[in-house]
């Protein structure tokens, strides 16, 4: 098993592996080119994102954007990420349809051993992140490794999501926890029970 295969399998792997370094450099160069484009060069920017992710689809991502590899990120249709999105995609990151990220949202699949000797050896591991359809993640939220965010979920700003969040829920906090389930009031009102 090579280091990339170990990485994607959730095993300890060596991130200093030459092949992985080459892959990360490719992603960094692509992200650099994206961030250097003038704001009106949307088509050129999207072409670079498609090259980075290795897929097509409908999305709008505001630079700057950063990732480790890019090709481990699978986007559904109608994805929006505001400024300063970071996705450490050492494991697969699957994002559903109609997902919105506010500014400074970070997804971290990468992790390090708790044992200091193993950690100091430079080995690390990564676990996947899955985000369902129709999800809104608030600004400065962090999604940690091995987390599944269900469908129709709202994650509050500043949350640190360390465990799975069920469908149809509103969750917030550090650590993030479910505050309540979506209900009929959420169809009538769009902000804290206020009608405008």
Q: What is the pLDDT of residues 9-32, one digit of tens each?
A: 999 999 999 999 999 999 999 999
140-165 tens-digit pLDDT: 999 999 999 999 999 999 999 999 99
Q: Which pTM was predicted?
A: 0.94
Give all domains of the chain, ordered by start, each with its CATH number. 3-195 (2.160.10.10)
What's the pLDDT score for residue 185? 84
List the catalytic residue out of 24, 28, 74, 112: 112
Average pLDDT of 32-41?
97
Beta strands in the chain (DSSP E): 59-61, 65-67, 73-75, 79-81, 85-88, 93-95, 100-101, 106-108, 110-111, 125-126, 129-131, 136-137, 142-143, 147-149, 154-155, 160-161, 169-173, 176-181
- pLDDT, position 195: 58
Residue 188 has pLDDT above 80, yes or no: no
Q: How far is CA 69 from the centre of its chain?
A: 12
From CA 81, how far away is CA 83, in angstroms rounded?
Answer: 7
Give CA 188 to chain center in angstroms.
30
Write out pLDDT tens, residues 46-57: 999 999 999 878
60 belongs to the catalytic site: no
* Residues written for the chain: 196
Residue 196 confidence class, pLDDT cut points 50, 70, 90: low
Looking at residue 184, what is its pLDDT?
A: 86
């Amino acid at each position: 098993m090579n280091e990339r295969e170990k990485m994607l399998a959730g095993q300890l792997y060596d991130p200093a592996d030459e092949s992985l370094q080459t892959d990360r450099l490719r992603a960094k160069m692509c992200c650099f080119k994206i961030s250097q484009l003038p704001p009106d060069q949307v088509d050129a920017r999207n072409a670079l994102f498609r090259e980075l992710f290795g897929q097509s689809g409908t999305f709008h991502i505001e630079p700057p954007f950063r990732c480790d590899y890019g090709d481990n990120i699978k986007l559904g249709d109608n994805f929006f990420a505001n400024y300063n999105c970071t996705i450490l995609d050492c494991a697969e990151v699957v994002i559903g349809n109609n997902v919105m990220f506010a500014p400074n949202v970070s997804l971290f699949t990468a992790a390090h051993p708790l044992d200091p000797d193993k950690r100091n050896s430079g080995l690390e591991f990564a676990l996947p992140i899955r985000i369902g359809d129709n999800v809104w993640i608030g600004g400065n939220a962090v999604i940690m490794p091995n987390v599944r965010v269900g469908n129709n979920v709202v994650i509050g700003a500043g949350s640190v999501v360390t465990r799975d969040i069920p469908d149809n829920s509103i969750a917030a906090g550090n650590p993030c926890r479910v505050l309540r389930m979506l209900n009929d009031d959420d169809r009538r009102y769009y902000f804290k029970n206020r009608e405008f």
